[in-house]
Amino acid sequence: MRVLGALLVAYLVYASTQLDLGLGRFVTGLGEGGRFLARMFPPNFARWELLLEGMVESIQIAVLATVGGIILSLPLGLMAARNLAPWWVSGPVRAFIAVCRSLHYVIVAILFVKALGFGALAGVAALIVASVGFVAKLFAEAVEEISMKQVEAVRSTGASGMAVLLYGVLPQVASRFVGFGLYQLDSNLRNSTLVGVVGAGGIGGTLFAAFKRFDYDFVSAILITIIGLILLAEVVSGRIRAAMQ
């Protein structure tokens, strides 16, 4: 353990040196950060129409991406569940979900901006990919934990495959699936503010433009509005989840 500790300390010192993480730069940065924060206050809400337009677009991006991701995640999650689908179906589907999860949504947004152009469409597409990577994975895991006795009971009545899913599988995971969707909506609300920075629509584009204009009091107004929106979404989704339990 001592050798491992010494090696870890040596590596941390080496990495800090290579990355030029000096204390002097940190102290200088604190001073610059203080001056930067001073220019952000008081926040300027005079251009509230522009602020409102960006926030509405971000909400629309988040809602559309969440709904699209849930619609795609439902069949993908069922096909990825190893207790329902054969390996030659579940394996490739699980690999596809893993690819969606491994790509950061900002990178995906950049790719869609290049493919689809600037605007909200690229943001919606990028967040749908991110939603599938999260919701489909958790949904597949939830399906794998269901009781197969209920499934077999429905099958024994001679029900079709769709009826087995509707009456044997989905009732056991419906509440969890709704919870996954609400959590992803929270996540997409946050993420929709960032994809705009790379040109994928939403309040992020307004924020980036304000930074480029050195309009820091408007930047603080945007940030305060974003924080308020996220907190409100947390409260609403929390109450919905509590009501479902």
Residue whose tokens read 């994809």: 195
Domain residue spans of the chain: 48-244
Q: What is the mean pLDDT of the chain?
A: 84
Percent share of the chain, pLDDT over 90: 15
Q: What confidence tens digit (pLDDT) does each residue in 182-236 have?
A: 888 888 988 888 888 887 777 888 888 888 888 888 888 888 988 888 888 888 8
Does domain 48-244 fall under CATH 1.10.3720.10? My reply is: yes
